[in-house]
Amino acid sequence: MKPVIILVTPQLGENIGATARAMLNFGLDGLRIVNPRDGWPNQKALDMAKGAAIVIEKAMLYTTLADALADIQWAIAATARNRDMHKPIYHPATCTDTLITHSRAGHRTALVFGAERSGLTNEDITLMDAILHIPVSQEYPSLNLAQAVAVMCFCWFSTLSSSSSAANPTSLPSTSTPAPKKDILAFFEHLEKELEKSGFFSSAHIRPTMAHNIRNLFQRLAMTEQEVRTLRGIVRSLAKGRG
Amino acid sequence: MKPVIILVTPQLGENIGATARAMLNFGLDGLRIVNPRDGWPNQKALDMAKGAAIVIEKAMLYTTLADALADIQWAIAATARNRDMHKPIYHPATCTDTLITHSRAGHRTALVFGAERSGLTNEDITLMDAILHIPVSQEYPSLNLAQAVAVMCFCWFSTLSSSSSAANPTSLPSTSTPAPKKDILAFFEHLEKELEKSGFFSSAHIRPTMAHNIRNLFQRLAMTEQEVRTLRGIVRSLAKGRG
């Protein structure tokens, strides 16, 4: 399973097209787009993609990031800003190695990029397994969206090319299938609904921050499907006992 | 000495601007341009560069690649096509390591990129110490100029960032200062003039190919300044004896 690229609310068609081109240069063709600002299809994206127009034509459109991530089992978010979250921060090489390890285990992975101006929200990032920091010069750290995608697609392809004949250096136990994001999101929603009912959130004001912290906490578990089922069972059981 | 980026006959101002932006993102600011198709200054280049306009403003303009390379001591050419030349072919990681090793020795280095459509000529490549192959998917190998620059600037910056605190893994003997390209070019011209006079080139038709082969042969020596002086002395001496 090759990684997919997810663009969240991209603004410029040119950047979507340049993303598609860089993807296909480096052997990737699964593009998912969440709420593009200028609608869809986008002629500027097609023009810019040139010979990679096929990537644009078969790109999948979503209205929420949660939908775009539904079947994904490991997701990493590119972000320039520091987030006050307890979440592993990966550099490009580590990110690439982890993507390849998951790919070889047959897991569905995603590299997620936010909008040009604003990036990803903290809410978006709660669904991620890790944060990607591309090292940039502090003198001018503003990396163009398609350039960031190009750098990561290059890292993936060149690492894969150079390691394809070598023995697989790391592997995951075959019994631990990471849960797809839709299961994890359903667990979060289940948990939060029960917490809401239970009066856990002392005020509406504090609720988003508390919910984010809880999501980030559980996200770090990198849960398997079985573990998600177990946790949901626990929540269900606790809620039932209270009710 | 940080590497400089040399664009030879670039066609689109947008690509020059995107090049400048990627350079400054990754800590590079020395841009040299040989015969840009649409003249200079170029408003599209400035617009596209955004916060990296300074790189465009202080870019240096040349009419020949030889001029742009005059003070450079180690140069590598990005090329997608296979060249029938006996010249070392580097992948991005090796290219980056070599650039950093030369930089630390105080040598002037250059990464050279050809025009969007046609790339570099074989004549251009005779002046290079090595050829850079960026691995790309054979399904769609046509890498955008600025994306290629971005990938290499990223490699340079991320390798430098991760190795700056470590001991320098390789080094060059301080006595072997690589000759600047202007000395090597002057040697080539001297040698070819003497060969011409001596009737070495059996026909005008065959001359360019023979000259290229000879240049590539000597270029592989990676000559020091002293070695160039020595070789010129040999040519001068041989020619004088014949005259």
Q: Longest Cα pair distance anywhere in chain B, in angstroms?
A: 60
The CA-atom distances, in angstroms, between B59 and each of A126, B11, B20, B55 are 43, 16, 9, 6
Place of tokens 């296979």: B82
d(CA B57, CA B62): 15
Give the helix ranges, DSSP H, for chain B. Answer: 13-25, 43-49, 53-57, 65-68, 92-104, 122-125, 145-163, 181-197, 207-219, 225-242
**Cβ contact B147–A147 (<8 Å):** yes
- In chain B, residues with a C-beta closer than 8 Å to the C-beta of A142 are 25, 50-51
Q: For all residues of chain A together, what is the average pLDDT? A: 88
Higher pLDDT pick, B165 / A125: A125
Band of pLDDT at residue A167, cut at 50, 70 and 90: very low
The predicted pLDDT at position B242 comes to 53
User: Would you say B37 and B10 are in contact if contact means Cβ atoms under 8 Å apart?
Assistant: yes
| Closest partner CB to A137 (pick from B26, B50, B92) | B26
Q: What is the pLDDT of residue A67?
A: 95
* Complex prediction ipTM: 0.81
Indicate whether A170 pLDDT > 70. Answer: no
pLDDT digits (tens, 9 = 90+) for A50-78: 999 999 999 999 999 999 999 999 999 99
CA distance B43 to A36: 28
pLDDT at A154 over 60: yes
What is the radius of gyration, based on Cα positions, of chain A? Answer: 19
Contacts of A150 in chain B (CB under 8 A): 147, 150-151
Interior angle at CA A104, CA A103 and CA A108, nearest 5: 25
Q: For residues A33 and A6, give the distance between their C-alpha atoms in angstroms, rounded to a whole number.
A: 6
| Model confidence at A164: pLDDT above 70 | no
Give dist(CA A156, CA B92) in Å, integer: 13
Task: Name the residue in chain A with its Cα closest to that of B133.
Answer: A158
Per-residue pLDDT averaged across B119-127, rounded? 90
Q: Does residue A84 carry a pLDDT above 80?
A: no
Q: Whose CA is closest to A2, among A78, A91, A104, A97?
A: A104
Stated length of chain A:
243
- DSSP type of residue A52: G
Tens of pLDDT along A105-140?
A: 999 999 999 999 889 998 899 889 999 999 999 999
Q: Judge whether B18 is closer than 8 Å to chain A, CB to CB.
A: yes
Q: What are B199-215's pLDDT values in tens digits?
A: 888 788 888 888 888 88
- One-letter amino acid identity for B201? F
Q: Please, are residues B156 and A44 in contact by the beta-carbon 8 Å criterion? A: no
Least confident window among B85-89, B193-197, B231-235: B85-89
Closest CA to A159 of A101, A77, A90, A229: A101
Which pLDDT band, with edges at 50, 70 and 90, does A171 fall under?
very low
The secondary structure element, H or E, covering residue B172 is none
Q: Tell me which H or E stretch contains A137.
A: none
A1 DSSP assignment? -
A158 neighbors B90 (Cβ within 8 angstroms)? no
Say what the pLDDT of residue A242 is: 54
Contact indicator for B19, A142 with CB cutoff of 8 Å: no
Task: Encode pLDDT of A200-240 as tens digits.
Answer: 887 888 888 888 888 887 887 778 888 888 888 888 877 77
Contacts of A207 (CB under 8 A, 6+ apart): A201
Q: Choose among B25, B136, B137: nearest Cβ to A137.
A: B25
Q: Model confidence over B58-98: pLDDT tens digits?
A: 999 999 999 999 999 999 999 877 776 767 899 999 999 99
CA distance A24 to A13: 17
- Comparing A76 with B237, which gets the higher pLDDT? A76
φ, ψ for residue B217 (rounded to 5)? -60, -50
Decide if pLDDT at B40 tops 70. Answer: yes
Q: Tell whether B91 lies on the interface with A, counting CB pairs under 8 A.
A: yes
Check residues B33 and A118 and name the one with the higher pLDDT: B33
pLDDT bracket for residue B173 (50, 70, 90): very low
Chain B partners of A147 at a C-beta cutoff of 8 Å?
18, 21-22, 25, 146-147, 150
**Confidence label for B164 from pLDDT (cuts 50, 70 and 90):** low
The pLDDT assigned to B243 comes to 47
Question: Residue B48 above 50 pLDDT?
Answer: yes
End-to-end CA, chain B: 44
Using the predicted structure, report yes or no on whether residue A166 has a pLDDT greater than 50: no
**pLDDT (tens digit, 9 = 90+) per residue, A96-105?**
999 999 999 9
Question: Is the pLDDT reported for residue B15 higher than 60?
Answer: yes
On the question of a cis peptide bond just before residue A41, with omega within 30 degrees of 0, the verdict is yes
Cβ atoms of residues A109 and A3 within 8 Å = yes
Q: For residue B40, which of B67, B58, B28, B21 has the smallest C-alpha distance?
A: B58
Is A154 part of the contact surface with chain B (CB cutoff 8 Å)? yes
Beta-ladder partners of A62 = A34
Q: Give the CA distances from residue A14 to residues A19, B20, B58, B224, in Å, rounded to whole numbers and listed in that order.
A: 8, 18, 27, 46
- Element (DSSP H or E) covering residue B1: none
**Structure token pair of residue B32:** 């040299």
Q: DSSP readout, B63-120?
A: SSHHHHTTT-SEEEEE-SS---S---EE-HHHHHHHHHHHHHTT--EEEEE-BTTTB-
